[in-house]
Structure 1
Amino acid sequence: MKNLNSISLLLISMLLLPGCNKDKPQYRISVTNGLQVPRKGETVSVRRSDLGNITCEEFSRFFVQDARSGAYLISQVIDEDRDGELDYLLFQPDLEADETRVYNLVTDVDSGSLPVTGISTFSRFIPERTDDYAWENDRVAFRTYGPTAEQMVVDGTPGGTLSSGMDCWLKRVDYPIINKWYKKTLEEGGSYHEDTGEGLDDFHVGASRGCGGVGVWSAEEQKLYTSRNFTRWETIATGPIRTQFSLTYAPWSTPFGMMEETKIISLDLGSNLSRFEVRVSADGPVEEISVGLTQHEKDGTNHADQDNGWFSY
């Protein structure tokens, strides 16, 4: 698990260096690990706007090179706000304790010099399995439930799910398994609930919050109010470093008025944790927005640090 408190200690600075061609400047990025422990595969995000007046086409042609070794790193560009303009360049360096390394952004690279990897992040809408949306990296996989699964419950059709909770799949392998597991379950007579060597889905969500669902807590009623299944989805990015997507939920009733909810979820390679950016609006003041983590049979141990804003189970 990545240490959430240490993220701010990964320091990044950028220099604009004059190149042989003044119309094609080079950029040098200095990354510092301020901790006394190694940082392996931590994501560095370079904002296009920080590089000055550079076009999306130029930005998309950049490759990341270790200035010391000359080796190239895997990278990915993302249009995060979906406006048709690239926003970020991502790469994942390895840094030793208290180490600073410099990386060049270069163009016109021989394709034979670039690294090749068989592992990646991935996400997609799953219409063949009652409108799931599933996402994964090299360590974990997740899914949540769409409108068809909700309508099946409303109609009394077996196989539906009525929940905005998050399901967690446990992986034993680093390669993508989402497409393979759905095909095994839907077409080949197998089941992703059974471990045949790659892992399984053994985390029951039901009507709970699962692993990261949210709700509005009413202290007076001692009751959690939640949205239903997502109604709209959009894939923002999927690639070797990050997959990112948005989910929108239909307005839902609470003691504080009608609520609206949108999630932007991302998962980076090498991380056990998805990042949830949750946007909610209400007709009136809301007492408390809660995040749920389901305890099955109340086993396990809870850990929390309220001052630093995290908890785990």
Structure 2
Amino acid sequence: MKKLLLLCMTALFCFACNESKTVTVTVANPLAVERSNEMIELSMAEISNCLNLADTAQIVVLDAEGQQVPCQITYDEKLIFPATVAGNATAVYTVQTGTPEDVEVKACGKCYPERLDDVAWENDLVAFRAYGPALQARGERGYGYDLFTKYNTTEPVLESFYAKEVDKDARAKIAELKDTDPKAANELRNSISYHIDHGFGMDCYAVGPTLGAGVAALMVNDTIIYPWCYNTLEILDNGPLRFTAKLVFTPLDVKGDTTVVETRVITLDAGSHLNRTAVSYSNLKETLPVVTGIVLHEPDGAVVADAANGYITYVDPTTGPGNGKIFMGAAFPAAVKDAKVVLFPEQEKKQRNNADGHVLAVSDYEPGSDYVYYWGFAWDKADIKTADAWNRYMADFAQKVRNPLKCSLTSGRGYQN
């Protein structure tokens, strides 16, 4: 279920639209491969106009068999729902007034001021976090995205992870036992830590002062301008099918100009391994290279850097024995100029917690535009077991974002409640 920005076209809205009881949505797949549970977006303004909706009216989405499909109306007035379309084929859905069934929350997140202002979010497959101003105030260089592996559940787990990790009573007990019973202190520490797998996943990924799991950054003279932690946060969508957050960052110093401000809008949909992220830089005076980076934790790790087909991948060794492998990746809907491994010089390696470098995808950022890309991961203890399977997933994903599903809307009569 991949979050893709769709090319949605209104095909036939007749003059009798306001008398219509239904809107038929025809979803066309231009690729030969099946598109399973991809999230599509429709304009609520067009839907409302065609159905002549009252302010309090509710709508439902039905598949070809007349069964309800989970849906959500987003902060930017889009109706989203997962669609499945065979290769080189079409599928038909119906939107009409009705009482929606309860939708299980699959994508959600929140800020955790009790954990140094982390913003953390998840869906049924994966989980992530970005570091906040309280961490930056301590002088820590939390430039990159972090991640939490997840398995054995499709339900949200991050609140329980954080609740245990920052439990004040447990932390006080650990401090008390540290001198009198170190073994008991260590056992209690492990029992509450999200760095230990308690059956639903864990944080076994090392970020350090790097781009981490897929942060984008400007470059000047082949030097990455690392972004600090976010400065302000606004959660725009919080489930059940989509999480969206807007992060505004501390001003950057770009060639002596200290007024350049980065804004990111991060979206994670149910069923997707990847976040969609739109990055913009205000006050930037000229076109500059922008890179998306994944940190390397071994100099000769398994990397795919495919600029022509628009994706990069890396097999991360994780932070401890028995924690498996994490398959990292990023995909790009627009052309990529270059994709390559860049290793740190030995001195810089020491400054970056002994990380070895990045695999980078290089593009150009035009002032006033959005740089859009997708980034995320899979874990070999969860649904994608091998690097080959992950590379196929990423190659297919890149093709899909470059060949989006196409939607046409037709007003007319159909299923009735």
- Structure 1, 120-129 or 296-305: larger mean CA deviation: 296-305
Residues 91 and 18 of structure 1: CA distance in aligned 2, closer, same or farther (over 3 Å) = farther
Q: Which residue does 1:246 correspond to in 2?
A: 246
- Whether contact under 8 Å (2:162, 2:194) holds in the other structure is yes
2:79 aligned with 1:89, yes or no? Answer: yes
Question: Could you say what secondary structure the match of 1:192 adopts?
Answer: coil
Q: Which residue does 1:120 correspond to in 2?
A: 106
CA RMSD for the aligned pairs?
Answer: 2.8
Q: Which residue does 1:156 correspond to in 2?
A: none
Q: Which residue does 1:196 correspond to in 2?
A: 198
Question: Could you say what secondary structure the match of 2:274 adopts?
Answer: coil
Question: Could you say what secondary structure the match of 2:149 adopts?
Answer: strand
Which of residues 141, 150, 171 in structure 1 aligns to 2:150? 171
- Whether contact under 8 Å (2:3, 2:275) holds in the other structure is no
Deviation at 1:196, TM superposition (A): 1.3
Deviation at 1:164, TM superposition (A): 2.8
Pairs within 5 Å for 1:1-313: 15-16=12-13, 23=19, 25-51=21-47, 53=49, 58=55, 61-66=58-63, 68-80=64-76, 87-109=77-99, 114=101, 116-153=102-139, 161-172=140-151, 173-187=153-167, 189=189, 190-219=192-221, 222-255=222-255, 257-258=257-258, 259-298=260-299, 300-313=301-314
- Whether contact under 8 Å (1:165, 1:213) holds in the other structure is yes
Q: 2: distance between equivalents of 1:163 and 1:93? A: 37
- Whether contact under 8 Å (1:124, 1:235) holds in the other structure is yes
- Whether contact under 8 Å (2:3, 2:38) holds in the other structure is no
Residues 52 and 119 of structure 1: CA distance in aligned 2, closer, same or farther (over 3 Å) = closer
Q: 2: distance between equivalents of 1:49 and 1:213? A: 33
Q: 1: distance between equivalents of 2:75 and 2:145? A: 25
The structure whose RCO (Cα within 8 Å, separation 6+) is larger is: 2
Residues 13 and 287 of structure 1: CA distance in aligned 2, closer, same or farther (over 3 Å) = closer
- Structure 1, 39-48 or 22-31: larger mean CA deviation: 22-31
Which amino acid in structure 2 is aligned with residue 218 of structure 1?
Answer: V
Residues 58 and 303 of structure 1: CA distance in aligned 2, closer, same or farther (over 3 Å) = farther
Question: Could you say what secondary structure the match of 2:38 adopts?
Answer: coil
- Whether contact under 8 Å (1:119, 1:174) holds in the other structure is no
Q: 2: distance between equivalents of 1:16 and 1:199? A: 48
- Structure 1, 124-133 or 222-231: larger mean CA deviation: 222-231
Structure 2 portions without partners, runs of 5+: 171-188, 315-417
1:146-172 residue CA offsets vs partner (Å, 9 max, x unmatched): 11111123xxxxxxx422311111111
- Whether contact under 8 Å (1:192, 1:201) holds in the other structure is yes
Q: Which residue does 1:158 correspond to in 2?
A: none
Q: 2: distance between equivalents of 1:237 and 1:89? A: 12
Which amino acid in structure 2 is aligned with residue 198 of structure 1?
Answer: F
Question: Could you say what secondary structure the match of 1:79 adopts?
Answer: coil
Q: 2: distance between equivalents of 1:141 and 1:94? A: 24
Deviation at 1:301, TM superposition (A): 2.1
Residues 252 and 278 of structure 1: CA distance in aligned 2, closer, same or farther (over 3 Å) = same
1:60-109 residue CA offsets vs partner (Å, 9 max, x unmatched): 6221011x3110000000122xxxxxx20000022233332211111133
Deviation at 1:22, TM superposition (A): 5.2
Q: 2: distance between equivalents of 1:58 and 1:105? A: 16
Q: 1: distance between equivalents of 2:215 and 2:74? A: 25
- Whether contact under 8 Å (1:17, 1:26) holds in the other structure is no
Q: Scaled by the length of structure 2, what TM-score is found?
A: 0.63
Which amino acid in structure 2 is aligned with residue 277 of structure 1?
Answer: A
- Whether contact under 8 Å (1:244, 1:264) holds in the other structure is yes
- Whether contact under 8 Å (1:248, 1:263) holds in the other structure is yes
Q: 1: distance between equivalents of 2:244 and 2:303? A: 28
Structure 1 portions without partners, runs of 5+: 81-86, 154-160
- Whether contact under 8 Å (1:165, 1:209) holds in the other structure is yes
Residues 52 and 60 of structure 1: CA distance in aligned 2, closer, same or farther (over 3 Å) = closer
- Structure 1, 71-80 or 47-56: larger mean CA deviation: 47-56
Q: Which residue does 2:323 correspond to in 1?
A: none
Q: Scaled by the length of structure 1, what TM-score is found?
A: 0.82
Residues 192 and 14 of structure 1: CA distance in aligned 2, closer, same or farther (over 3 Å) = farther
Question: Could you say what secondary structure the match of 1:128 adopts?
Answer: helix
